[in-house]
């Protein structure tokens, strides 16, 4: 039995060596091998540093871009929005390789090539793994992150809400919300001195799109869903702030100030949504009139057999930003 301690020590050493080799393979050999492999195909990119990959340069370029002032006569926003792509595409060509931490990424700008890759049915292109903060924002079972049979099931649940007949009903609600917002702007101008009043359009469009989504998707007013929209916006800010930071697995469970704030906002979103859903269910139980053809109604109906789907309002911010950009382009014509 004297040899048992020696066997334990040898096993521990072998286990430790295997882990060291695994780390070396991920941090050293894999970046070198992939860089060399793509270089033979004419695809190059910025150098890869250990752990950070190209994130250091991305952070530096983003900080420099925030200090610049956009030319109001130019529609080229690439140097401000994605400065790393603007620089690397000019240095390494339209197709290049860069490292998001230890994850290799190939940037492709050819629309036909991108279409061919995304429409491939053999499963060569898979959705990259997302951080826990992003999963909290968009839902770990949302359409953005899931694939395969889960994606097909969720798409089948949501798709009827966007049929032509349903969209016609939604257009009426969208029109009513938009006219109400236009009347509000007109009243502000009339009440102002000299009938001249400045309006911050980005914030107004966020309020308008939130009101439209609340009516068409949730069957509630903007005031009832206000906490949901505000919390989603705050969550997006935290996700964007940590987007270029190194993620350490398991760190999402630590009570750091960032995680505590994310947990707080996530709880606020779920509480507000629960209140809206319970109000809908109570109306249905009492026989009161309620929307049955909107997105929430369809998801609640499907939840009876498929579980409770995750609701996500990220597209609200995307729509508001798109409207603001579109208006900016119109004013510069």
- Per-residue DSSP letters for 200-261? -HHHHHHHHHHHHHIIIIISS-TTTTHHHHHHHHHHHHHHHHTTTSPPPTTGGGS--HHHHH
- pLDDT, one tens digit per residue, over 232-255 is 778 888 877 777 777 777 778 888
Is the separation of the CB atoms in 108 and 117 below 8 Å?
Answer: yes
Cα(333)–Cα(330) distance, integer angstroms: 5
- pLDDT, one tens digit per residue, over 321-332 is 555 555 455 445
pLDDT given at position 103: 87
Is the separation of the CB atoms in 235 and 136 below 8 Å?
Answer: yes
- pLDDT, one tens digit per residue, over 256-266 is 888 888 888 88
E strands present in 54-180: 96-100, 103-107
Mean pLDDT of the residues in the chain: 78
Q: Which of residues 2 and 20 earns the better pLDDT score?
A: 20
CATH superfamily of 155-331: Cytochrome P450 (1.10.630.10)
Least confident stretch, 87-96, 136-145, 216-225: 216-225
When pLDDT is cut at 50, 70 and 90, the band that residue 78 belongs to is: confident
Encoded tokens for 219? 């069957």
Query: For the chain, where do the domains classified as CATH 1.10.630.10 start and end?
Result: 155-331
Is the separation of the CB atoms in 98 and 45 below 8 Å?
Answer: yes
Residue 89 has pLDDT above 80, yes or no: yes
pLDDT given at position 331: 46
Helix, strand, or coil (residue 95) = coil
pTM above 0.75, yes or no: no
Cα(319)–Cα(222) distance, integer angstroms: 16
How do beta strands 103-107 and 96-100 pair? antiparallel
As a whole number of angstroms, the longest Cα–Cα distance in the chain is 98
In 3D space, the residue among 310, 227, 315 whose CA is nearest the CA of residue 265 turns out to be 227
pLDDT given at position 147: 75
Burial of 99 (0-12, 13-18, 19+ CB in 10 A): buried
């Amino acid at each position: 039995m004297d040899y048992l301690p020696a066997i334990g020590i040898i096993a521990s050493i072998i286990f430790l060596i295997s882990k060291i080799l695994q780390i070396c393979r991920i941090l050293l050999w894999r970046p070198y091998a992939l860089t060399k492999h793509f270089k033979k195909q004419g695809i190059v990119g910025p150098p890869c540093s250990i752990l950070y990959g190209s994130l250091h340069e991305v952070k530096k370029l983003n900080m420099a871009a925030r200090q610049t002032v956009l030319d109001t006569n130019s529609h080229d926003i690439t140097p401000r929005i994605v400065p790393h792509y603007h620089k690397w595409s000019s240095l390494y060509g339209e197709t290049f390789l860069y490292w998001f931490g230890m994850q290799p990424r190939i940037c492709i700008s050819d629309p036909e090539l991108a279409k061919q890759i995304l429409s491939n049915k053999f499963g060569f292109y898979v959705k990259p793994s997302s951080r826990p903060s992003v999963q909290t924002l968009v839902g770990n079972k949302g359409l953005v992150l899931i694939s395969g049979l889960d994606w097909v099931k969720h798409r089948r649940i949501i798709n009827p809400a966007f049929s032509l007949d349903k969209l016609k009903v939604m257009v009426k609600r969208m029109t009513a919300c938009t006219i109400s917002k236009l009347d509000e702007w007109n009243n502000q101008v009339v009440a102002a001195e000299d009938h001249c009043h400045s309006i911050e359009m980005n914030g107004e469009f966020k309020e308008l799109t939130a009101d439209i989504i609340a009516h068409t998707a949730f069957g509630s007013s903007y005031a009832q869903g206000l906490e949901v929209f505000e919390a989603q916006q705050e969550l997006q800010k935290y996700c964007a702030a940590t987007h270029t930071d190194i993620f350490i697995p398991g760190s999402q469970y630590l009570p750091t100030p960032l995680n505590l704030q994310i947990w707080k906002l996530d709880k606020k979103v779920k509480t507000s949504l629960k209140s809206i859903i319970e109000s809908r269910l109570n109306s249905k139980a009492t026989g009161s009139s309620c929307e049955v053809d909107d997105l929430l109604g369809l998801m609640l109906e499907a939840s009876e057999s498929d579980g409770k789907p995750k609701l996500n309002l990220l597209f609200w911010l995307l729509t508001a930003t798109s409207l603001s950009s579109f208006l900016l382009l119109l004013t510069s014509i």
